[in-house]
């Protein structure tokens, strides 16, 4: 019997973006702007920094395990009892505790197929059955998720706004959805980007519902600029919080992290500055993408997701090839055809298409090879994520060879891929050689 469970062996871990210093050294760059993790470029509040400095003389002490001061401040701000508040090492820390606390043998989970990778890793690590529901127009399809609920469903995970799309589901959608969720099912509502979206009139602030089977998760990592401290917090019914505290690791977050969070909450002016600056940046990026015709997903978070990057990257080259082929067709056949009474459709079928056949075949072949060997965009932008949603064969071969050091498997897959390419190209060459 193997020491490592099979579902852990097959688990795709979260791969964080490289540090700026590492990228500078690797590529010999002087200036690098990191966009990989949606980090706040403005950094934390000066009040937060000052509070952290004041804690450095107490690093020999364990943190307050209950996090009383921070929890009290969060309870006061959101008008709940302290018994309704939990803090942890980022919202993922609380999410992990929830999965360990509430799942029994035979329980199942539901979430969106391409949503937050952090939950995907935690859910897969649980070894439970997970129903991954496809998104619709890059948004949570709450109707389809509700249809997946069965007698074994225990946890439903929703990120609103979503990561990595930045989209959100609306009040009417959420209210209709939650009315169909049994009270025995725990809904984890991840609102990591809440501060960026709460100005939207139709955004469903979960704290306004006070539902007994919903736990709201938020974080200081994004708009508050405390990603390095890992401070997350959550709101739920006191019974849920009571049981979560039994499982959550003690003494988290650290003393500096808790104090930084308190300082951030006390500096409302700095938060407003951050949100205003982010909105200006989002408006500018959106308008520029529209100008240069780069397709993107409209976001209510602090990032914009560009779609069809590979097509945008390669299609111009394909168009140039086709245009060159069209310009090389002589005019005489068209003139002769028109004199014989041929229309535009007949000219296209009997003149343009036969002349363009070799160019079309070569273009398709080149595009096919480009698509199969796509690696750089995946490596730079997603590393196969979220989860394995963008994990292409080329990137999988790379991971097998250079990360897992499974050289035999990588070599075998490369050989098979070569044969597949040959098989796909043969019909194209046969079509190109047709005489009709």
For the ranges 33-47, 168-182, 243-257, 305-319, the lowest mean pLDDT is seen at: 305-319
Report the C-alpha gap between 169 and 145 in whole angstroms: 13
State the pairing for strand pair 214-219/296-297: unpaired
Sheet holding 129-133, edge to edge: 85-88, 232-235, 214-219, 186-190, 153-159, 108-112, 129-133
Is the distance from CB of 89 to CB of 232 less than 8 angstroms? Answer: yes
Burial grade of 329 (CB within 10 A; 0-12, 13-18, 19 or more): middle
pLDDT at 376: 65
> Is residue 153's pLDDT more than 80?
yes
Say which residues have a Cβ less than 8 Å from residue 177's Cβ, sequence separation at least 6. 142, 143, 145, 146, 169
- Please check the confidence at residue 178 and state whether its pLDDT lies above 90: yes
| Contact of 188 with 158, CB cutoff 8 Å | yes
CA atoms of 398 and 403, how far apart (whole Å): 7
Q: What is the pLDDT of residues 361-397, one digit of tens each?
A: 888 888 777 777 776 666 666 566 555 556 677 777 8
Residue 177 has pLDDT above 90, yes or no: yes
| Of 12-21, 142-151, 277-286, 335-344, minimum mean pLDDT range | 12-21
From residue 123, give the alpha-carbon distance in Å to each of 108, 129, 155. Answer: 10, 9, 10
Judge: domain 307-432, CATH 3.40.50.150.
no
Is the bond leading into 386 cis (omega within 30 degrees of zero)? yes
Confidence check: pLDDT of 316 > 80: no
CATH fit for domain 39-269, picks 3.40.640.10, 3.40.718.10, 3.40.50.1100, 3.40.50.300: 3.40.640.10
Q: How many CB atoms lie within 10 A of CB 99?
A: 23
DSSP 352-419: IHHHHHHHHHHHHHHHHHHHHT--HHHHHHTTT-STTTT--HHHHHHIIIIIS--HHHHHHHHHHHHH
pTM of the model as a whole: 0.76
Other C-beta atoms closer than 10 Å to the C-beta of 56 total 9
First vs last C-alpha separation in the chain: 63
**Contact by Cβ (8 Å): 37, 90:** no
When pLDDT is cut at 50, 70 and 90, the band that residue 264 belongs to is: very high
Q: pLDDT of 12-69, one tens digit each?
A: 677 677 788 888 888 788 888 777 778 888 889 999 999 999 998 888 899 988 899 9
Domain ranges of the chain: 39-269, 307-432
DSSP string, 240-268: HHHHHHHHSPSS-S-HHHHHHHHHHHH-H
The β-bridge partners of 206 are none
């Amino acid at each position: 019997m193997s020491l490592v469970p099979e579902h852990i062996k097959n688990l795709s871990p979260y791969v964080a973006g490289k540090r700026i210093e590492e990228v500078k050294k690797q590529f010999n760059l002087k200036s690098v702007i990191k966009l990989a993790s949606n980090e706040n470029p403005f950094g934390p509040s000066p009040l937060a920094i000052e509070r952290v400095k004041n804690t450095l003389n107490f690093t020999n002490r364990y943190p307050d395990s209950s996090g009383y001061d921070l929890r009290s401040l969060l309870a006061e701000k959101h008008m709940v009892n302290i018994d309704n508040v939990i803090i942890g090492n980022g919202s993922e820390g609380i999410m992990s505790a929830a999965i360990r606390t509430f799942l029994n043998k035979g329980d199942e989970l539901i979430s969106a197929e391409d949503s937050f990778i952090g939950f995907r890793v935690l859910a897969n690590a649980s070894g439970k059955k997970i129903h991954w529901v496809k998104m619709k127009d890059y948004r949570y399809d709450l109707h389809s998720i509700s249809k997946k609920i069965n007698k074994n469903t225990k946890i439903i995970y929703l990120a609103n706004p979503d990561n990595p799309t930045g989209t959100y589901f609306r009040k009417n959608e959420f209210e209709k959805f939650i009315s169909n969720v049994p009270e025995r099912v725990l809904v984890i509502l991840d609102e990591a980007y809440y501060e960026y979206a709460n100005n939207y009139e139709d955004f469903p602030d979960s704290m306004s519902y006070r539902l007994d089977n919903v736990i709201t998760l938020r974080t200081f990592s994004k708009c508050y600029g405390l990603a390095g401290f890992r401070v997350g917090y959550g709101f739920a019914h006191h019974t849920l919080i009571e049981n979560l505290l039994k499982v959550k690791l003690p003494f988290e977050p650290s003393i500096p992290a808790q104090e930084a969070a308190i300082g951030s909450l006390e500096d409302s002016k700095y938060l407003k500055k951050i949100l205003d600056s982010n909105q200006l940046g989002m408006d500018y990026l959106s308008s520029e993408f529209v100008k240069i015709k780069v397709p993107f997903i409209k976001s209510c978070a602090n990032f914009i997701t560009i779609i069809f990057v590979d097509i945008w990257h390669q299609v111009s080259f394909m168009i140039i090839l086709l245009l060159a082929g069209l310009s090389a067709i002589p005019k005489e056949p068209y003139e002769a055809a028109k004199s014989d009474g041929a229309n535009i459709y007949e000219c296209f079928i009997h003149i343009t298409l036969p002349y363009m056949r070799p160019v079309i075949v070569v273009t398709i072949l080149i595009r096919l090879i480009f698509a199969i060997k796509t690696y750089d965009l995946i490596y730079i932008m997603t590393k196969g994520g979220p989860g394995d949603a963008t994990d292409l064969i080329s990137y999988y071969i790379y991971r097998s060879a250079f990360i897992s050091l499974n050289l035999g498997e990588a070599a075998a897959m490369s050989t098979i891929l070569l044969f597949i390419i040959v098989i796909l190209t043969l019909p194209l060459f046969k079509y190109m050689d047709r005489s009709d």
